[in-house]
A and B are shown apart, each in its own frame.
Chain A
């Protein structure tokens, strides 16, 4: 080995630039910003005040925990809904209907998230389609407001994340040999025990990678909680946004950003530990 050629470094350059300029550099800067506090205009001293404020102010910590818990809940609900869909696409549907069903999961993602979320507003608002339909049926005697609450927000989060769960699950389930499932039944297994002992263990890498992606998307979502959530459903990203843009308090905003990063890393790590999976296996689609 006599050193690598120019070509190697040219190929490596975009990756290094991307990592360095867009990920590492901003994070270093954010870390520095978060670790200082303003004592006078344009005058800063290093301190942990921002992190102290995060811990001591109930609004911040409550919003933070709520966001984390709601994201976990959204992930679990997405998994429960997506699993049967993926199983149907991967194992029961055949040929063209399989491709068509997969495409139907994909199509909504061709329009922007904003438009998709607005679609839910049209359905759920007081003068919306569902409210009108219920009144027409006589099941409701006045318009019903279904927007601006946690349920509507959860609906939006699950809907937004669905594809990112269905794709890895379908891929791993497709790689499960039908004969293995049949062998499970043949040797005396019931539907439930085959699911528990054969299908789920096989799909575990897909389940975990889907959950990680959905969880991170939910945790970092800004649009859905803002548009569908009510006054009580403040999302942590909204807090970060208001610190940066409204309050112009970059120091606190940066500290919040790091807390969110810490939380998501911790939760992803615990999911991996709990399920005995490694990041390499899950991101390699569980081969």
Chain B
């Protein structure tokens, strides 16, 4: 590790325009050395464009990219100290595993014996020793994944870029690879920049996540902050699950805003600069909602109502109850507490639900 404090990767005012379309708009971020940074966004939000600019396949329209404090603008991809794990891995089918891993070293003119040694070493580190002579087509999905990472890591890049590398794997393997990627990152102690549209991948693995939408970063923060303290309505809706209502602020009193949803629910939320008559979007996480047998159990909640169960979605630890508020008719998604008593809820049962003021996430609509 270098002694200076320059982050491994820094983007300043990064912008990319394709004709009239602005794919990436004024993006700023920096990734400290040795951390796992994710860019999370729906497809088409511009995250791949950012990745390709960092790798050097695209030139930014404006802004700067710095690696270890040095601008890499104008440096071709084969001269940048970053390597990329492609979406479909892009292993070289005409070479075996050892040749794939040794490719970059051969380009650097490393001696043959040294290439063999380092290839063996990196295969050891990804716990696939002795598969060097195998053909790429003989490997399983998870093995290919690790070989693709090893092929980059053997070059000891400053930054490793990963472009949705888990997308092609089946669900079980994806879960396993998430954990494995995180431990590989710790093992190699290299900065990973990971792009994905899967919030599960981003939240589990990353030290910091940037949520991206329509070419801009909506929020950068630790997974926990994004989840509990989303900065924008988009982040609240995109990260994690939430019940969503749109409505209007009817009254602001101190630090509490009263919101009337379009369906007719009256909620209370932290005021945070909201003004009367603002149009707002309100989010409440399913697990933030308490559920109880009667109104007495909901005394401490800012909002409570009696509802009817419309469906029970049993899924082990992730079971949900869908309930309907009889006054407004809106359907609310409630996480089922694992503790006592609710496993026997049936369709039609009457229960009391409620949540606190702080758990009501309220954002003024910007575009209206």
Contact across chains for A187 and B107 when beta carbons are under 8 A apart: yes
**Which residues of chain B come closer than 8 Å to A182, judged between CB atoms?**
57, 77, 84, 86, 90
B140 at the binding interface (Cβ < 8 Å): no
B76 at the binding interface (Cβ < 8 Å): yes
Within 8 A of B (CB), among A201-220: 201-202
**Whole-angstrom distance between the alpha carbons of A40 and B83 in the complex?**
81
Contact across chains for A180 and B78 when beta carbons are under 8 A apart: no
Contact across chains for A186 and B78 when beta carbons are under 8 A apart: yes
A185 at the binding interface (Cβ < 8 Å): yes
Within 8 A of B (CB), among A12-31: none
Within 8 A of A (CB), among B54-110: 55-57, 76-79, 83-84, 86-88, 90-95, 103-104, 107-108
Kindly identify which residue among B57, B84, B94, B155 contacts A198, using a CB–CB cutoff of 8 Å: B94
The interface stretch among A92-100, A188-196, A255-263 is A188-196
Contact across chains for B107 and A188 when beta carbons are under 8 A apart: yes
**Which residues of chain A come closer than 8 Å to B103, judged between CB atoms?**
184, 187, 189, 197
Kindly identify which residue among A177, A179, A185, A201 contacts B78, using a CB–CB cutoff of 8 Å: A185
**Which residues of chain B come closer than 8 Å to A198, judged between CB atoms?**
92, 94
Kindly identify which residue among B76, B86, B94 contacts A201, using a CB–CB cutoff of 8 Å: B94
Contact across chains for A185 and B76 when beta carbons are under 8 A apart: yes
Contact across chains for B94 and A185 when beta carbons are under 8 A apart: no
**Which residues of chain A come closer than 8 Å to B155, judged between CB atoms?**
187-188
B151 at the binding interface (Cβ < 8 Å): yes
Contact across chains for A187 and B83 when beta carbons are under 8 A apart: yes
**Whole-angstrom distance between the alpha carbons of A188 and B115 in the complex?**
15
Within 8 A of B (CB), among A151-205: 177, 179-180, 182-190, 193, 197-198, 201-202
Interface residue count on the B side (C-beta < 8 Å)? 25
**Whole-angstrom distance between the alpha carbons of A189 and B92 in the complex?**
13
Smallest CB gap from A180: residue in B: B90
**Which residues of chain A come closer than 8 Å to B152, judged between CB atoms?**
187
**Which residues of chain A come closer than 8 Å to B90, judged between CB atoms?**
177, 179-180, 182-183
**Whole-angstrom distance between the alpha carbons of A179 and B77 in the complex?**
13
Smallest CB gap from A179: residue in B: B90
**Whole-angstrom distance between the alpha carbons of A185 and B104 in the complex?**
9
Residue of B95, B107, B152 contacting most chain A CB atoms (<10 Å): B107
Contact across chains for B77 and A185 when beta carbons are under 8 A apart: yes
Contact across chains for B78 and A188 when beta carbons are under 8 A apart: yes
Contact across chains for B86 and A183 when beta carbons are under 8 A apart: yes
Smallest CB gap from B84: residue in A: A186
Contact across chains for A202 and B78 when beta carbons are under 8 A apart: no
**Whole-angstrom distance between the alpha carbons of A16 and B151 in the complex?**
52
* Distance (whole angstroms) from the CB of A173 to the closest CB of chain B: 13
Total A-B contacts with CB atoms under 8 angstroms apart: 60
* Distance (whole angstroms) from the CB of B97 to the closest CB of chain A: 14
**Which residues of chain A come closer than 8 Å to B76, judged between CB atoms?**
185
**Whole-angstrom distance between the alpha carbons of A279 and B86 in the complex?**
33
**Which residues of chain B come closer than 8 Å to A188, judged between CB atoms?**
78-79, 104, 107-108, 155
**Whole-angstrom distance between the alpha carbons of A189 and B100 in the complex?**
12
**Whole-angstrom distance between the alpha carbons of A190 and B103 in the complex?**
12
Given A185-B76, A186-B77, A188-B155, A202:B108 Cβ within 8 A: no
Residue of B56, B79, B93 contacting most chain A CB atoms (<10 Å): B93
Residue of A179, A183, A190, A197 contacting most chain B CB atoms (<10 Å): A183
**Which residues of chain A come closer than 8 Å to B78, judged between CB atoms?**
185-190
* Distance (whole angstroms) from the CB of B222 to the closest CB of chain A: 30
**Whole-angstrom distance between the alpha carbons of A184 and B90 in the complex?**
9
Contact across chains for B107 and A193 when beta carbons are under 8 A apart: yes
Residue of B83, B91, B94 contacting most chain A CB atoms (<10 Å): B94
**Whole-angstrom distance between the alpha carbons of A201 and B57 in the complex?**
23
Contact across chains for A180 and B107 when beta carbons are under 8 A apart: no
**Which residues of chain B come closer than 8 Å to A193, judged between CB atoms?**
107
**Whole-angstrom distance between the alpha carbons of A74 and B83 in the complex?**
42
Contact across chains for B87 and A180 when beta carbons are under 8 A apart: no
**Which residues of chain B come closer than 8 Å to A177, judged between CB atoms?**
88, 90
**Which residues of chain A come closer than 8 Å to B77, judged between CB atoms?**
182, 185-186
Smallest CB gap from B161: residue in A: A186
* Distance (whole angstroms) from the CB of B76 to the closest CB of chain A: 7
* Distance (whole angstroms) from the CB of B135 to the closest CB of chain A: 13
Contact with A along B129-169 (1 / 0, CB 8 A): 00000000000000000000001100100000000000000
Known: A182-B90, A183-B91, A185-B77. 16 other contacts (CB 8 A): A177-B90, A179-B86, A180-B90, A180-B91, A183-B92, A184-B103, A185-B76, A186-B77, A187-B151, A187-B152, A187-B155, A188-B104, A188-B107, A189-B78, A197-B92, A197-B103
Measured CB to CB, the residues of B under 8 A from A are 55-57, 76-79, 83-84, 86-88, 90-95, 103-104, 107-108, 151-152, 155
Measured CB to CB, the residues of A under 8 A from B are 177, 179-180, 182-190, 193, 197-198, 201-202
| A–B pairs, 16, beta carbons within 8 Å | A179-B86, A182-B84, A182-B86, A183-B84, A184-B92, A184-B103, A185-B77, A185-B78, A186-B55, A188-B104, A188-B107, A189-B78, A189-B103, A190-B107, A198-B94, A201-B94
**4 closest A-B pairs (Cβ-Cβ)?**
A188-B107, A187-B104, A179-B90, A183-B90
